[in-house]
Amino acid sequence: MHLSRSKEYEQLLLAKYPAPDLENKITEKVTDFSGLLTREAALFILAKENDLVKEETVKLAELKEAMRNFNIQATVERIFPIQVFEKSGKKTKSCRVFITDATGSSTLVLWNESINLLSGMVGANDLVEIKGAYVRGGEIHLGFNGNITVLEHGTVTPLAELKQGGFYNIRGKVAEIYPEYFYMRNDKENVMRSFEISDGTAQGRVVVWNEPERVKELAENDEVKLENALFKNNELHLSANSRIVILIKAKRADILNGNIEDIAVKGTDEVVAKIGDKTVFFTGKLSLQLLKIMVLPPDIGLDTVLSLKKDKLLGTPVAVRFKKQDEKLIALELVE
């Protein structure tokens, strides 16, 4: 956070609290996070809690380096493949999203758990609102409390209306999954996988050349969305620039699919989540996985983590395998 912006928050807060009281609140906030917060970050959180943070809505053509805490509305043109980096044994994921509006274009960069917003929520051709963003290196990033909301989902093309050579977004159900097909290219054995998709208007074969293991995640009757699929030779071909998004997993008696409607911490290691219209209890490592953290830092409780992540978690899709025990649904596994 730039010093000038933190000074602005400090002046606004001083209009509400005497200087000694404000210093105490800053110290308390830093202590709440076990010293992990800078003074500037603590000021931002306090200003946010007191509704003093003003977010500006801008156009893409108006973006400048180091701009902070703005909102923007844009259309998702393309979602690039996820990149994984590893340093000192720690993996970091990033994903770039190409967006446009009437004034220009830019790239939104999502990191780690924010990438989950692209799984069934945000897709190609969607009109989205990006809140709490900042510019760094000429690209847009989500801020500490940033989020993305879909204002209008993009259109999909019925299978019956596809034309040769066109690129399309398709929505339908997996009708059949075919065995792996092995072939030779440049004296190297490669594999291709394919499946049938049906949308009520027609049925067609989908051929996956790049990352064919993506098909292993599918099951018959899964509802999926295909993005940037090439219609060629009466087949839909998926390349590295195409996506398969599982919208709704086929129902199984022991798997619950739905969006997180509400979430709360109960006790020291239990998280209770309302998924669709069902309440599910998570404990231990599953609580951490649901909150999308690997390890709980010392002296920080689940309630603190949830207070930071709740806004991002609400509305996100989740699939969980469960068992019924004493009339309660107990989470056994989060299903990818």
- Whether 57 maps to a domain, the answer reads no
Beta bridge partners of 105: 100
Do 187 and 137 share a structural domain?
no
Domain total for the chain?
Answer: 4
Do 127 and 175 share a structural domain?
no
- Whether 82 maps to a domain, the answer reads yes
Which pLDDT does position 1 carry in this prediction?
42
Residues in the chain: 336
Which pLDDT does position 241 carry in this prediction?
86
Do 328 and 260 share a structural domain?
yes
- Whether 63 maps to a domain, the answer reads no
Q: How many Å apart are CA 4 and CA 11, to the nearest integer?
A: 11
Mean pLDDT by 10 residues, the chain (336 residues): 65 90 90 76 82 81 90 93 84 93 96 82 91 92 84 93 96 95 91 96 95 91 94 96 87 85 90 95 92 81 88 91 92 87
Q: How many Å apart are CA 149 and CA 157, to the nearest integer?
A: 23
Do 259 and 223 share a structural domain?
no
Do 239 and 207 share a structural domain?
yes
Dihedral of alpha carbons 31, 35, 39, 41, sign: negative
User: What are the tens digits of pLDDT across the range 219-254?
Assistant: 899 999 999 999 999 999 999 889 999 888 777 778
Do 218 and 240 share a structural domain?
yes
User: What are the tens digits of pLDDT across the range 303-318?
Assistant: 888 988 898 899 999 9
Which pLDDT does position 268 carry in this prediction?
81
**Which one-letter amino acid corresponds to residue 141?**
H
Which pLDDT does position 328 carry in this prediction?
93
Do 178 and 148 share a structural domain?
no
Do 189 and 168 share a structural domain?
yes
List all residues 6 or more positions away from 321 whose beta carbon is below 8 Å from its beta carbon: 254, 255, 331, 332, 333, 334, 335
Q: How many Å apart are CA 272 and CA 289, to the nearest integer?
A: 13
Which pLDDT does position 8 carry in this prediction?
79
- Buried b / exposed e over 300-326, threshold 16 CB at 10 Å, is eebebbbeebeebbeebbbbbebeeee
Q: How many Å apart are CA 324 and CA 94, to the nearest integer?
A: 37
Range of the domain at 297: 255-334
Do 164 and 116 share a structural domain?
no
